[in-house]
Amino acid sequence: MYMICPITTKMPTVILLDVSLSMSRTVPTLDPIENHTRLTVATAAINSFLDFLSVHARLEYVALVTFSSVCEVAVPFTREFENIRNKLPLLEEGDKTCLDSALAGVSQLILSEWGYQTPMQIILITDGSIGSGPIGRSRAIQNLPLPAPYPVRIHILPVVSPVDPCLQHAMPLYQKIVDLATSANNSSGNVSRGSVYCLDQLSVACAVNAITRLCEQHYQEFSCTLKCGQFAARVQLFPEPHPAVHEGYAATYTLSNEINIMGFMHVSELGTPIAVSKHLVVPQAQNGNSSNRENYGAKTPIKDGSSMDGSSPDEEVLDPNKMPNFCVLLHGALKVENMAAIVELGGDWWGALVAWNEASRSRRSCLLLCVLRPGASAAPWLGPLDQLGTCDENTPPSETYPVRSWRSYSGGGTGCAWARPHALLADVQKVLRHARKLPDKTQHLYKELNRLRRAAISLGFSELLACVGAALERECAALPAGAPPECALQLAHAAAALRDPRTALDVKHTLQPLASNFTVTSMPH
């Protein structure tokens, strides 16, 4: 069984709010009635951000963290945005701004809650001051506690006038924070970068406009149509999918606005291919003219204008919870039958829909879209995905759609499970131990190489093959003078075979030992 990448379906957000004394400065205004401080302006921006999420991203996890010289978690990660609203008026002022402790404290919170592989977003709201700490004292960018050990996008909202000298002095630091957070973990290019959202002028309205621009760029919902034959439903994918790239493919793959279900297979037959990303599939509310209403049929009205259950037709249209939805039917069928739906996401790009149970006490089940790597070989054990089809007349009854019979490749062995670094290190060391005992361990060496190679190709870990090939070349160079000549030949042959571009991505190819027949004969005097 192949390991699947532990990619989360969520992209949680941390609101990092400056509560230092400088945030208590009054905002100059022409209206004597208004008496806003920078902190109340920031609070209005946060409330506007939560309003946007309540409409467009209700499944988002958000945490509120405050900082001055120390960093404190005001509200831990939650989907109950009202908890954050209620906490904002109760925040206490701190002393001085310290970005070092703020970024370090956020990292500690994220790692304890989500680990190293969950993509995160951080919204830093401050007053444009660099502050104290190593960064503030030396103004040295190299003192930043970045890059973070997890994927992250940092957005900065300075609550300050655009002509304030403090902002001009802090802008290089803010831009470097954004750049380091983006470039360190998003080398694949499929995740958008953060930015600095400056206010047109220091006011509540301009702060709300700035946070609205941020939301429209990074928190927009993605809607598409899910189709299976004549059935169709409008769905929302959460979080929003991003374009994907894959090494060896020059094109950038963008998710289509129409996801077509191509067929179904048992979950055990699908296995666990690598997922580029995972997304919750949430049905959107249908109106009276929706395709679902046409497909499933509406309540049959009777002569007095009401439906058979006693409610009026207008009530049936206005209540989306009473409308049948294809997503509900599909989720229930996949869950009961333990099946997966193979979907086409675009040209030469596939994914899988499965019923997924949340890892929580509620154990709620959701419809989950696993986006596979671009290309027809995303699941090598199934063969080319564009050639899957129904069974023909000559197919034995034991083989079910759409998987062909499993072939046992030579040089088998159990699969590799690299959930921890030491497991990968142990497999590489096993190869090197056999390499040092040539020629007696030639067959064992190639058996382990084939096992390692198949797992690396299936997981998209092609760099491992290059590293193992380089290690075999070092072993060849370190052979003692009295070593049999077959040792050097086999090591050089194995290293070259691992790097052969003709079979670099062919999981079915099997490395074979170099055929040799060395005999020792006496030389004439």
Residue (of 235, 239, 218) closest to 60 by Cα position: 239
| Torsion, CA 404, CA 406, CA 409, CA 415, rounded to 10 | 130
Return the structure tokens found at 372: 């596979």
Q: Which tokens go with 90?
A: 């109760």
In angstroms, the CA 255 to CA 276 distance is: 12
User: Distance between CA atoms of 10 and 27, rounded to whole angstroms?
Assistant: 37
Domain boundaries, given as residue ranges, for the chain: 13-218, 222-298+323-387, 421-503
> Tokens in use for 170?
């802090």
Q: Can you name the residues that pair with 63 across neighbouring β-strands? A: 14
Q: What is the pLDDT of residue 156?
A: 93
Residues 6+ apart with CB under 8 A from 326: 226, 228, 231, 232, 233, 283, 292, 295
Number of H helices, E strands in the chain: 14, 14
Residue type, 213: R
Q: Cα–Cα distance between 331 and 57 in angstroms, integer? A: 21
Q: Do 324 and 296 form a contact (C-beta atoms < 8 A)?
A: yes
> Which run of H or of E encompasses 207?
helix 204-218
CATH number of the domain located at residue range(s) 222-298+323-387 in this protein: 2.40.290.10
At 359 the pLDDT is: 58
SS3 64: strand
* pLDDT at res. 213: 92
Q: Under a CB-based contact definition with an 8 Å cutoff, are residues 225 and 258 in contact? A: yes
pLDDT at 403: 46
pTM value is: 0.61
Query: Tens place of pLDDT for every residue, the chain, 525 residues?
Result: 333 344 445 679 999 999 999 898 888 876 666 778 899 999 999 999 999 998 888 878 999 999 998 899 999 999 899 999 999 999 988 888 888 889 889 999 999 888 887 888 999 999 888 776 555 545 555 667 778 888 888 999 999 988 888 888 888 888 888 888 876 554 444 456 788 999 988 889 999 999 999 998 888 778 888 998 888 888 888 877 877 776 656 677 788 888 899 889 888 888 878 788 888 888 876 543 333 333 333 333 433 444 434 444 444 444 556 677 888 888 888 988 889 999 988 888 889 999 887 655 456 778 889 888 888 888 888 888 888 776 555 555 444 444 444 443 333 445 666 767 777 888 888 888 888 888 888 888 898 888 888 888 887 787 888 888 899 989 888 888 888 888 888 889 888 888 888 877 777 888 888 876 654 444 444
At a CB cut-off of 8 Å and minimum separation 6, what does 253 contact? 243, 244, 245, 246, 345, 346, 347, 348, 349, 374
Q: Which amino acid is at 35?
A: N
Token pair belonging to 146: 């970045």
Residue 466: CB atoms within 10 Å: 14
For 413-455, the DSSP string reads: -PPP--SSHHHHHHHHHHHHHHHTTTTTTHHHHHHHHHHHHHH
Instruction: Report in angstroms the alpha-carbon separations of 193 from 244, 245, 254, 275.
Output: 15, 16, 17, 22
Q: Among residues 525, 442, 448, 524, which one has the least CA distance to residue 490?
A: 442
> Of the candidates 233, 243, 160, which has an alpha carbon nearest to the alpha carbon of residue 196?
160
The conformational region for residue 460 under phi > 0 = left, psi -120 to 50 = alpha, else beta, is left
Check if the beta carbon of residue 123 is closer than 8 Å to that of residue 157. Answer: yes
| Residue 248, phi-psi category: left (phi > 0), alpha (psi -120 to 50), beta (remainder) | left
Per-residue model confidence (pLDDT) at position 288 = 38
**Beta-carbon contacts of residue 297 (< 8 Å; ≥ 6 apart):** none
Q: Which SS3 state, helix, strand or coil, does residue 126 take?
A: strand
- What pLDDT is stored for residue 75 in this prediction? 94
Query: What integer pLDDT is reported at residue 206 of this predicted model?
Result: 92
Identify the pLDDT of residue 167.
87
CB 182 within 8 A of CB 218: no
Do the Cβ atoms of 79 and 61 come closer than 8 Å? yes
Going by C-beta distance under 8 Å and a sequence separation of 6 or more, which residues neighbour residue 446? 411, 494, 511, 512, 513
Give yes or no on whether 13-218 and 222-298+323-387 have one common fold: no
Q: CATH classification of 13-218, choosing from 3.90.1710.10, 3.40.50.410, 3.40.50.300, 3.40.30.10?
A: 3.40.50.410
Query: What phi and psi, each to the nearest 5 degrees, are found at residue 207?
Result: -65, -40
